[in-house]
A and B are shown apart, each in its own frame.
Chain A
Amino acid sequence: MRIQIIRHSVQLAFILLLFTAFFASLPHFMLIVLIATILGGAFYCGWLCPFGTMQEVANNVAGLFSKRRIAVPEKAAKYLVFLRYVFFALSLLGVSAVFFLDARISFLDMLRGDLLSLAAYSVVISFIIVSVFIDRLFCNYFCIQGAYFGVFSALRVFRIKREHKSCTGCRICDRICPMNIKISEKKYVSSLQCINCFKCTSKCPKRGALRYSFVDFRDVGLKKRFQKNRPKKKQSGKKIKSR
């Protein structure tokens, strides 16, 4: 719970900072965020993004009144996840039309006092209303910046680790994850969707079952490849002997 209090405080402090002279040094700050992302994951999305905070607050407040939530069907979510990467690729190719749906930028402009088009206002308000029912829908499927940070976090060296010995398999982490990651089925949370909100670690009833730690890359996949290659070498050695 302590980590959630710290995270919420950081979210609020960042919004306050955005409207001070700090905004001028934002590009330099974003470089630091990028380095943190490469090392530890998409902290910006979970800890700093004002529109992410807006969606989270809307969803949390709605959660106080009703526990019922609308979930995106698993089959649809499987493919929808790629949508933000498609938008990201299109933005890299210079297709500016994809930014029409980027409610994050419109929301920031709105807070800064810029006048937006009616369409931009309606996109922002629509995503906020939807986030009341579906947690971080925009972050999950539409955020271009999220995709950008996701790509950079692919080889992060700090990840959330699930200790299968301590894990009871209650799947609370799966249900609480706003990015719909199946944490209970993994040893390390390697998904590009992870926003480092640490809701899973703080909600986990078994202490130490989920923790944020340095990755042993042999466990992630490199070990398997290493092991696959090893027996082949032995076999070839035997063959030589038999000959």
Chain B
Amino acid sequence: MAKAGLEKKVIIAHAVLFFFIIGFFLYSNFMERAQQISSEQELDEKDLSSIEHLIGTCPRNRLCTTPSCPMWSDINEDGICDRSVR
């Protein structure tokens, strides 16, 4: 009888600890992902504001790159990625 009681306690303790660990990892993963998404969004907004004053500043025959454009290109006055604006 005592053995059965102990067995029950062991099963409950095992289950509680297991779900606690699993829950903790799932929650921390979820929070990490949410933080990652929000920081990516912030970064996009920051990038856009820093790009705005650079539009059309890339001199001809110079290689410029803005983060949202392909390599060696810059945003022109029409907001289109271009190799050189002036």
Contacts and interface: CB of A to CB of B under 8 A. Distances in A.
Contacts of B72: none
A204 to B, nearest CB: 12
Interface string A43-84: 000000000011001001101100000000000000000000
Interface stretch (B24-32, B48-56, B60-68): B24-32
A16 interface: yes
Interface in B23-80: 25-26, 29, 32-33
B33 A12 contact: no
A15 B3 contact: no
Interface residues of A, number: 20
Give the interface size bracket for B toward A.
20 to 34
A57 B14 contact: yes
Contacts of A5: 10
A239 interface: no
Contact of B7 (A1, A16, A57, A112): A1
Contacts of A4: 7, 10
B32 A60 contact: no
B14 A19 contact: no
Contact of B26 (A16, A61, A111): A111
User: Looking at chain A's contact residues, is the secondary structure mostly helix, strand, loop, or mixed?
Assistant: helix
A4 B4 CA distance: 13
Contact of A64 (B8, B17, B18): B8
A113 interface: yes
Contacts of B32: 113
A8 interface: yes
Contacts of B10: 1, 4-5, 8
Contact of A111 (B14, B17, B25): B25
Contacts of A16: 21
Given A1-B6, A111-B26, A60 B17 contact: no
Contacts of A19: 25
19 contacts: A1-B10, A4-B10, A8-B14, A11-B18, A12-B14, A15-B18, A15-B21, A15-B22, A19-B25, A57-B14, A57-B19, A60-B11, A61-B15, A64-B12, A110-B26, A111-B22, A111-B25, A111-B26, A113-B25
